[in-house]
A = this chain, B = another copy of it.
Amino acid sequence: MTPRPSQPRGAASLVARRAGIDTYQAPVVYMRADCPVCRAEGFQSQARVELSLGDRTLIATVHHVLADWLRHGEAGLSEAAWRMLHPAEGESLSVRHPPVLDSQRHIRAKVYGVPLAYPQLLAIMRDVAGNRLSDLHLASFVTACAGDRMSAAETVALTRAMIDVGERLRWPSHPVVDKHCVGGLPGNRTTPLVVAIATACGATMPKTSSRAITSPAGTADAMETLAPVDLALPAMRRVVEREGGCVVWGGAVQLSPADDVLIRVERPLELDGTAQMVASVLSKKASAGSERVLIDIPVGPTAKVRSRAAADALTAALVEVGTAVGLQLRVVQTDGAEPVGRGIGPALEAWDVLAVLQRLPAAPADLRARALLLAGHVLEIAGLAADGQGSAMARDALDSGRAWVKFQAICRAQGGMREPPRALYTADCVARAAGVVTGVDNRRIAMAAKLAGAPAARAAGVTMEVKLGQRVERGQPLFRLHAQSAGELAYAEAYVAGQQDLVTIGPGP
């Protein structure tokens, strides 16, 4: 059966114009509703169209313009579309209907419960990384894979697909070690400390970190308040060759470009399912060229992982998928009962890191202890310390000041060390009655930090003023809200005022 008459697939031409509208990462093309191309091609508002310029193509969403700032014959590009296609102002673009994407069919199959294999997941990850799927399809895919909806085999295939659509690094020194925390515990910013200690002891630790998904800060967000983290691959390579390690943002080096796109929809949906988490973590580790990886799973009633059983299940999934993609993993479960350190939010956590490195008297003891524990494990899996001896080696590197010297050298190599910002607005939340702190709700404390503006507002967040088991008096500050705008401070305060038992006070002993 052949169509008759046969015609080439139609394409129309429009002049590129930078619309000056920031739609975040979703590419939008503004076209006049009354333009002949829209009429001839039937491009409705919200239609998806393919734009091309030379060998670059992009699928964007159409928004119709009825006003005169856009002229006939022009295609206005949102900032994201302009960045991806980078035309010269006034250059001609081809505009046509997009191809029917197989990946959309695969996503739909998964929604209806059909398991996906590597070829389908690769097709989806290619279109995710290439920004060819709409936010609706991304949201649908992330939802369909959430909870326990991905089998072990699917998670392995998803991890491989995520690795295969990005770069994969190779390093001259071996073994390459890494550490990762599955998150969910506010303020648990051990990574910069572990990298400083381990590399000070001779480990090779090219650390790529992510930005926050559902938390008030990711390691990359916190590190960015101390030094540049958006290093391209050659720059990252130079840092690691000189210092043995780094702490950079994984998105800038394009190690797992599909993951970076998925995070864009996971964040507003507050979804971060097991399979996505395992695939995201392990694909980034494998892509970064890591060979031996320490994973930290904090367990607590209001942490991301709430029970020993859930931690064991996640451990099993990580080890199974990690082994399948050629990684050696060591997994440790740590106490996740309350936030770590004082600060929650990018800059506030960075101040804690500095206090530990500088051995200040006020440095949070719990953050220091966790960093030493984890650094000890890293030194052991790196083969630099015998089993059971890592922690002592780590403590020596920290207490001697060698870790602090190394950290400054890494920051300089990444582009220069800087001082984290301080928030303009603060408000204390105080105890209504005297007693003993018997509980801290990690999730709602994290929510308060986010409503105060973290992570986008770097200085925003929460500082904990008390620890579990501590005796408090009526009116004593329990935690402090930090914000960069009066509106955000008011928003976080309104939330806190409507909540009970963010910090639980019990009767004293």
Question: Which residues of A come within 8 Å of B, CB atoms?
Answer: 1-10, 12, 19-24, 26, 30, 33, 39-42, 44-46, 63-67, 69, 78-79, 96-97, 100, 104, 108, 111-113, 134-137, 139-140, 142-144, 146-148, 265, 268-271, 273, 427-432, 447, 451, 453, 456-457, 460, 478, 481, 483-491, 493-497, 500-503
Contact = CB atoms under 8 A, between A and B. Distances in A.
B42 A24 contact: no
A500 B1 CA distance: 7
A339 to B, nearest CB: 16
A271 B2 contact: no
A327 B139 CA distance: 35
A1 B268 contact: no
Contacts of A432: 1-2
Given A21-B65, A41-B485, A486-B40, A108 B491 contact: no
A42 B487 contact: yes
A485 B42 contact: yes
Contacts of A20: 65-67
A460 B273 CA distance: 42
A495 B100 contact: yes
A113 B1 contact: no
Nearest to A113: B147
Copies of the chain in the assembly: 2
A23 B63 contact: yes
The 5 closest A-B pairs by CB, nearest first: A20-B67, A41-B487, A139-B139, A22-B64, A3-B493
A427 B500 CA distance: 67
Contact of A269 (B33, B63, B108, B491): B108
Contacts of A64: 21-22
A236 to B, nearest CB: 27
B495 A268 contact: no
Given A42-B488, A487-B97, A140 B137 contact: no
Contact of A21 (B66, B139, B265): B66
A267 to B, nearest CB: 10
B41 A111 contact: no
Given A136-B135, A140-B139, A485-B40, A111 B493 contact: no
Contact of A268 (B12, B100, B134, B142): B134
B486 A10 contact: yes
Contact of A69 (B69, B428, B460, B485): B69
Contact of A44 (B30, B456, B500): B456
A269 B69 contact: no
19 contacts: A1-B432, A1-B503, A2-B429, A3-B429, A3-B497, A4-B428, A4-B430, A6-B497, A7-B493, A8-B490, A9-B491, A9-B494, A20-B67, A42-B483, A42-B484, A111-B147, A135-B136, A139-B139, A140-B143
A45 B264 CA distance: 12
B1 A502 contact: yes
A380 B134 CA distance: 47
Nearest to A78: B63
Q: Which of A22, A100, A143, A432 has the most CB of B within 10 A?
A: A143
Contacts of A45: 22-24
Contacts of A143: 111, 139-140, 143-144
A127 to B, nearest CB: 15
A23 B3 CA distance: 34
A428 B2 CA distance: 9
A63 B108 CA distance: 29
A466 to B, nearest CB: 11
A67 B147 contact: no
Contact of A489 (B7, B66, B483): B7
Contacts of A503: 1
Contacts of A268: 46, 134, 136-137
A489 B5 CA distance: 10
Contact of A271 (B10, B41, B108, B429): B108
